[in-house]
Amino acid sequence: MNTSLYKFTENIWTKHQKSQSLDDDKAQLVLCFGSKTMLEDKDIYSTVKTKFPAAQISICSTAGEIYQDNVYSDSLVAVAISFDKTKMEAKTININDFDTSYNAGIGLVKKIPKENLAYLMVLSDGSLVNGSELVKGLSTQVNEDVLITGGLAGDGANFESTLLGLNKQPKEGEIIAIGFYGDNLNVEHGSQGGWDIFGLEKRITKSTDNVLFELEGQNALELYKKYLGPESKNLPGAALLYPLSVVIPGASKPIVRTILSINEEEKSMTFAGDVPVGSQVRFMKSNFTKLTNAASEAASKTSVNRKNQPDLAILISCVGRKLVLGEKIDEEVKAVSNSFNNETILAGFYSYGEISPFNEGGDCQLHNQTMTITSFYED
C-alpha cells in the first residue's frame, strides 16, 4: 500500500512530507475532503482529475478538513492511494431517486459486488439523508463480518446543503460506496465520544423518524431549553454543544444524537438520526480534555492487535466536537497522531454524522459527536 497526502489551496497543490513515493498518475483511489466553497468551484473535479488522471476520485464536503495533525476550514485535502494486492469497486446513487433513506442504502450496496468484499466505505449527503435509516439499509446487504465505516458530509456550521461526487463534479444528494476486496487488506475501526451525561433520564413519548416532539409527555424543546439555562439563547448553534444520549428500544448501548435544527413554530427538534418513541434519553456535555483523550482512545482501538502502525488512518469527527474545541481543534488530531507514534498518514473531515459499529463490533450504527477512525493495513 502506497499513500500520499495533499492539500489544495489558492490553486496550489502541497504534498505533505510524510507522503510516500507515489506518482500522481499511479494513484488508484483519491479521497478528497473539502469545504463546500471549494467544491462549488465548477472546475474542482477537473482540477483533481488532471492531478490524478488514472484514479477513482471521491469528493466530499466538510465542516473542517483534517490534514495530518492540522485542521483547516477552507481547503481541499486529498489522500492518494495505490494498493499492491487489493482491488476496489466504487458506486454512487442519489437520494432523490429513492423514496426513503433505508431503500437508498439497500439500492447502493446492491450495486457493489459481494464476492471477497472485505470492507465498505460509505460517504453520504448530510442534509437530505436520514443517516440512521441509511445505515440500516446498508447493513441488510452485507455479511456481518464485513466492516462498514464512513460519515455524512458537512457544510461548516451552516447545515444548509452538502456536496459529494464520485468521478464527477460534486452535487447535492449523492451517496458513495467504495468496496475493498481480498485477503491482504486489514481494516480496523475505533469510535469514541468523551461526553458526560447529566440530568434525569427521560422517555420519548412523541416523535416522527428523526424529529422529536415530546419527552415524558412534555414539550421536548421547552424542556431542553430549561436544561440549557442561559445557553438556550444561543440556540440552535448551542445544540451542537449539548447532544442527547439515546438508548433505542431493544438496544443495549446508548448512541449520541446531534440536534441539527429546531422549529420554534412546531416546538420540535430535528436530529441527524432517528429518535424512536420509547427511547430513553439524557442530556450530554463535555470538555477539552475528555474529547482529546477520547480521540486518542479511538486511535488505540485500531492498532491494539497490530505490531506495526497503520499505513493510513481516515478520521471522521463531528462538527459539534469542532465547536467545543474551538481554537484548540488541532489538539484532537494531534492526539490521534501521537497514538500512532506520528508514523501514520492521517486524512479526514468533520462531519454531520459518523458511520461505524460500536468498538465491540455488531451492526453498523450512525453516531454523532464521536471521533471515528478507520485504519488500513495491507499485508
- List per-residue pLDDT tens for the chain, 379 residues long: 999 999 999 999 999 999 988 999 999 999 999 999 999 999 999 999 999 999 999 999 999 999 999 999 999 999 999 999 999 999 999 999 999 999 999 999 999 999 999 999 999 999 999 999 999 999 999 998 999 999 999 999 888 999 999 999 999 999 999 999 999 999 999 999 999 888 889 999 999 999 999 999 999 999 999 988 898 888 877 887 888 999 999 887 899 998 878 899 999 999 888 899 999 999 898 778 999 999 999 999 998 878 889 999 999 999 989 988 999 999 999 999 999 999 999 999 999 999 999 887 778 999 989 999 999 999 8
Which residues, at least 6 apart from 186, have a Cβ–Cβ distance to it below 8 Å? 306, 376, 377, 378, 379
**With contact defined as beta carbons under 8 Å apart, do 179 and 117 qualify?**
yes
pLDDT of 141 reads: 93
pLDDT of 123 reads: 98
pLDDT of 241 reads: 83
Q: Name the grid cell of 216.
A: 415524558
Q: What per-residue string of b and e applies to 256-286 under the rule 16 or more CB within 10 Å gives b?
A: bbbbbebeeeeebbbbbbbbbeebbbbbbbb
Which residues, listed in sequence order, are joined to residue 297 by a DSSP beta bridge? none
pLDDT of 87 reads: 96
Q: Of 123, 372, 73, 126, which is closest to residue 260 (Cα–Cα)?
A: 126
pLDDT of 271 reads: 87
d(CA 330, CA 340): 16
Q: Strand order in 87-94's β-sheet?
A: 87-94, 174-181, 117-124, 147-152, 353-358, 361-367
Q: Tell me: cis bond preceding 236? Omega within 30 of 0 counts.
A: yes
Which residues, at least 6 apart from 133, have a Cβ–Cβ distance to it below 8 Å? 100, 101, 102, 105, 209, 273, 274
The model's pTM is 0.92
Q: Name the grid cell of 46.
A: 477537473
Distances (CA, A) of 227 to 91, 204, 265: 44, 16, 20
pLDDT of 27 reads: 97
pLDDT of 360 reads: 79
Q: Of 216, 214, 320, 228, which is closest to residue 269 (Cα–Cα)?
A: 214
Cα Rg of the chain (Å, integer): 20
Which amino acid would we find at residue 122? V
